[in-house]
Structure 1
Amino acid sequence: MKPLDFGRSDDPRVQAQLDRLSALSVPQGRLGLDTIRTLLDRLGNPHRKLPPVFHVAGTNGKGSTCAFLRAMLEAEGYKVHVTTSPHLVRYNERIRLAGELISDAELAAVLAEVLDAGEDLGPSFFEVTIAAAFLAFSRTPADACVVEVGMGGRFDATNVLEPEALAACGIAALGLDHERFLLAPEEGVPQEPMARIAFEKAGIAKKNVPLLSLAHTPLERGAISAQAGRAETAALFEGTAYRIETSGDRLTYRDDKGILDLPPPALPGAHQIANAGLAIAMLRHQSALAITQAGVAAGLRQARWPARMQRLSPGPLAGGREVWLDGGHNPQAGAMLGAHFAGQRLHLIIGMIDGKDPAALIGPLGPALASITAVPVPGHDWHPASAFGLKASPASDVQAAVAIIPDDGLPVLIAGSLYLAGEVLRLNDELPD
């Protein structure tokens, strides 16, 4: 079965290009940026024709940080291009032009152009996606770009961005993920796993471009600082270069430019305070665009990021129940969910891709769970109910799982995979826009 990551479209022009995308594969062991650079060169180097770029890496929270950046910049009146991954329901979600999702007509045309240009290069799905995004960005006027790293940083396709294009770089929370790729044996790199992860993420550092980071351990900070030094820039860390903390029902942000008194973020979860702080720090340490306290405050209130601690609206799937959706699947996401639901009882519907660790979510949530229902992840191999412990029972799909959970007033959490999250949003008629 074709993974949903390749996308589906009701528009035959788009689907034709998505079918071409789905046929792409990457030669085993291929690393580096040579292919994406050659592809972009054939397209006229659109990555050199962009408005100021905010480049965000990390294991957890980089998407939320991008959402805060976009919301704050738009609150200032700026037009913002955004590329993030993965998409949840429609491939169009990966490319936002001046505030709007790319249209089907534009998407079909730009994908065709990129695929035609790189037909003999064997580019990957993500390399084509990033080339298409940068090409579309270069042709549509805007004031800023927000670019999320796909995986890692050093060898990610987005890392073709050059210092002249960048306003600021950011590194969100770090954790172990994609170990097969990010911890692959290599000479001259840190050997301790978390130092290696930090090293890979900090590969986005560029000369004289501010690099802000949420890293707190000496090991992670050392690896990031070393990468920043090689790039001839400085690493600026939360807790030293800037601070954000709660003060009653307000947030207080501090750096060497002053103090901001701010409202709490609209995105739920205590972890979002750190992500918001990273976005604010990136904006306040760059010089390309003017930023005001009013714009930051409005962005905090307006930021939206689907499938990350999202409470579903009443709809065909959720009905009138309290249903939460989160696509997290690693230990850091599990810890966040455990903290958010501490002291509560809830029902868990979980779908997790085979290869991910079931204990990552079940462990932190264990004390809160009234029931566990395991469901398939559409388009992927998934863990059966037995992987989630003796309390877990199977259901044929997420609709069946919701139907069999008792309506006892307890909240329902659907979690374990962004692919499952996309299916949930589709079933509840909540397409990301």
Structure 2
Amino acid sequence: MTYLQAIAWLESLQMFGAKPGLERMQRLVDAAGHPERHLRFIHVAGTNGKGSTCAMLESIYRRTGLKVGLFTSPHLVAFAERIQINRQLIAADDVARLTAQLRPLVADLSATDPPTFFEVVTLMALVYFAERRCDLVIWETGLGGRLDATNIVTPLASVITNIHYDHEKWLGHTLPQIAAEKAGIIKPGIPVIVAPNPPEVLDVFRQRAAALKAPLMVVSPGDPHDVLAHQIQLPLLGEHQRANAATAIATVHTLMPVLPVYRQHLVTGLETVHWPGRMQRVRQGPQEFILDGAHNPGGVEALCATLQRLYPSLKPAFIVGVLRDKNWQQMLATLRQHACRMLLVTVGSERAATAEELRAGCGPDDPACPVSCHPSLALALQAARGEPQVVICGSLYLVGEAMELLHLESTPKNGQERSLNEWGGNPPPPAFPTPT
């Protein structure tokens, strides 16, 4: 099997959408000989910040000399971003080889309830990390936590970052309901580290941790972890990244008896962390571009707060594209308050809200912030050529496309692999009881 054939087969699995539940994943690891039993994990869930927190943890532990696997989603440009060891992307030959190895196994299990794309990629990552004998795997959830395919592991620690409104159709319409789904990664007796969150969210985590006798550490502003996070020269911008760093520091301290880390490794790891597409600033000629993956109201609020702090007297132009299943009306309302103009595009996804739909949701015309629609990101970039600062946000899909158009990342050899991020399906059954 060639790499292109492997990617084509993986893409064919998207027809099965997203199907919450652990039964298929359990059958997959059973058939594969349980590669997860040969690995140690830090399992990370949350609404916003989980990818950045994963990147921070990976950078810290790699500095100690460990071989560290990193599993995240979605990818920005190339499929291989999802599966890395010591920040080296999985090679095309390994993707082809593992796909050929796993395809018969998947076929045997597909008669009644075919595995999804994400489940198969999760298995691929487990097999790859076990083959390479990783010392530690930083393991990010895909959607939610309780019924996410990644939840078949028993980690060294469970980490939960910021909880905000996103994927409400799947996770619930209140913060406690969403928190309950994320709390599904908490395991009996396994320590859990939680980022700063609203009281009603923390109540859910405290109850769940207490029920499972899982030691709980809640990071809070001004505690030693937060103080250290504010002393470090963090390359990821924004106060929300300080909260993520504090959560990573708390995790490292919690696991110190199992995974010793010198302070120098912790500091250097955080000071050298790399996580593209998050307040990523790029200067090209007279223009500065800022790429940020903010794709829900909480992410947009954090983006705008960071812009206001860094550029208090400047209103940038925003190029925005959003998926239809997001609360894009609230996102656009927030962005418009900070923009000199809005250029709307349709994200390259079957789930995208069209530029015209977004325009209709912007409300009445405002000469102080004109709004325009553009058939593509490339044309929006052309229209914004005269702007000194351009912020591209609203979807990680859009950020990935921008990275290619701005030549920050090379296009995969088979063309675009961003389509592999597509998913659909039916919402999960209700979570365990939570406070209202």
Q: TM-score normalised by the shorter chain: which range applies?
A: 0.7 to 0.9
Residue range with higher mean Cα deviation, 206-215 or 274-283: 206-215
Counterpart in 1 of 2:198?
217
For these two proteins, the number of residue pairs brought into alignment is 393
Matched, 1:33 2:12: no
Query: What is the rounded CA distance, in whole Å, between the counterparts of 1:313 and 1:87 in structure 2?
Result: 23
| Deviation for aligned residue 1:26 | 7.4
Which of the numbers 398, 415, 418 marks the counterpart of 2:393?
Answer: 415
Show the 5 A alignment for 1:270-349. Answer: 270-286=239-255, 287-312=257-282, 314=284, 319-342=285-308, 343=312, 344-349=314-319
Matched, 1:68 2:56: yes
Query: What is the rounded CA distance, in whole Å, between the counterparts of 1:67 and 1:136 in structure 2?
Result: 19
Matched, 1:82 2:70: yes
CA contact (8 A) 1:174 1:215 kept: no
Matched, 1:396 2:375: yes
| Deviation for aligned residue 1:238 | 1.1
CA contact (8 A) 1:25 1:123 kept: no
Residue range with higher mean Cα deviation, 305-314 or 148-157: 305-314
Aligned partner of residue 368 in structure 1, secondary structure: coil
Query: What is the rounded CA distance, in whole Å, between the counterparts of 1:198 and 1:26 in structure 2?
Result: 29
| Deviation for aligned residue 1:221 | 1.3
Cα 1:104–1:235 change in 2 (3 A) is same
Counterpart in 2 of 1:160?
152
Superposition RMSD in Å = 2.3
CA contact (8 A) 1:337 1:364 kept: no
Cα 1:312–1:116 change in 2 (3 A) is farther
| Deviation for aligned residue 1:202 | 1.1
CA contact (8 A) 2:319 2:393 kept: yes
Query: What is the rounded CA distance, in whole Å, between the counterparts of 1:263 and 1:299 in structure 2?
Result: 10
Counterpart in 2 of 1:429?
407
Q: Name the % identity.
A: 31
Matched, 1:252 2:233: no
Q: Deviations over 1:205-237 (max 9, x none)?
A: 112221000143332112112222333212211
| Deviation for aligned residue 1:142 | 2.5
Query: What is the rounded CA distance, in whole Å, between the counterparts of 2:207 and 2:50 in structure 1?
Result: 21
5+ residue gaps in structure 1? 1-11, 184-191, 246-250, 254-260
CA contact (8 A) 1:330 1:361 kept: yes
Greater RCO (Cα-Cα under 8 Å, separation 6 or more)? 2
Counterpart in 1 of 2:425?
none
Counterpart in 2 of 1:3?
none
Query: What is the rounded CA distance, in whole Å, between the counterparts of 1:21 and 1:373 in structure 2?
Result: 34
| Deviation for aligned residue 1:313 | 5.0
Counterpart in 1 of 2:348?
378
| Deviation for aligned residue 1:112 | 2.7
Cα 1:313–1:231 change in 2 (3 A) is farther
| Deviation for aligned residue 1:365 | 2.5
Residue range with higher mean Cα deviation, 111-120 or 27-36: 27-36
Show the 5 A alignment for 1:3-22. Answer: 13-22=2-11
| Deviation for aligned residue 1:130 | 0.5
Q: Deviations over 1:304-362 (max 9, x none)?
A: 11111111253xxxx54100001211110111112112233100001112232223332
Cα 1:240–1:335 change in 2 (3 A) is closer
CA contact (8 A) 1:307 1:421 kept: yes
| Deviation for aligned residue 1:24 | 2.2
5+ residue gaps in structure 2? 413-436
